[in-house]
Amino acid sequence: GMANIVIVEDDIFLREELQNILQKEGYSVVSISSFDTPIEDILAAKPGLILLDLNLPSISGFQICRTLKMKGIGPILILTARNQIRDELHAL
């Protein structure tokens, strides 16, 4: 089947909003809502695209991003409410 869009976002309202929009467009979506083992959960979801929030509880989005990159998993779109452009550039 089609690859999943995996949403990694701890804000429940934003997460559900994104999921609804994407599903209405016909995409297959998996949301990560527990952040104990996010990397394993993302890999298990067979992502074709990852929407990653940088401000997560218990683990840094940067760390997740780095680890996924090392495993050749992507593409990754960064979601962030932070205003510092520096963080976004760092993520790239």
Does the residue 65 lie in any domain? yes
The reported pLDDT for the residue numbered 87 is 62
The reported pLDDT for the residue numbered 84 is 56
Contact 78, 52 (CB under 8 A): yes
Q: Give the CATH number of the domain where residue 14 resides.
A: 3.40.50
The reported pLDDT for the residue numbered 79 is 83
The reported pLDDT for the residue numbered 57 is 82
The reported pLDDT for the residue numbered 25 is 94
Rg over CA atoms, the chain: 12
Which residues, at least 6 apart from 25, have a Cβ–Cβ distance to it below 8 Å?
none
What is the rounded end-to-end Cα distance, in angstroms, of the chain?
30
Q: What's the total number of domains in the chain?
A: 1
Does the residue 55 lie in any domain? no
Three-state secondary-structure class, residue 35: coil
The reported pLDDT for the residue numbered 16 is 95
* Residue ranges of the chain with per-residue pLDDT less than 70: 1-2, 81-92
Does the residue 22 lie in any domain? yes
The reported pLDDT for the residue numbered 89 is 65
Does the residue 67 lie in any domain? yes
Does the residue 87 lie in any domain? no
In terms of residue numbers, what domain contains 39?
4-49+61-80
Which residues, at least 6 apart from 20, have a Cβ–Cβ distance to it below 8 Å?
none
pTM of the predicted structure, to 2 decimals: 0.83
The reported pLDDT for the residue numbered 34 is 86
Which residues, at least 6 apart from 50, have a Cβ–Cβ distance to it below 8 Å?
5, 6, 8, 42, 68, 73, 74, 75, 76, 77
Does the residue 69 lie in any domain? yes
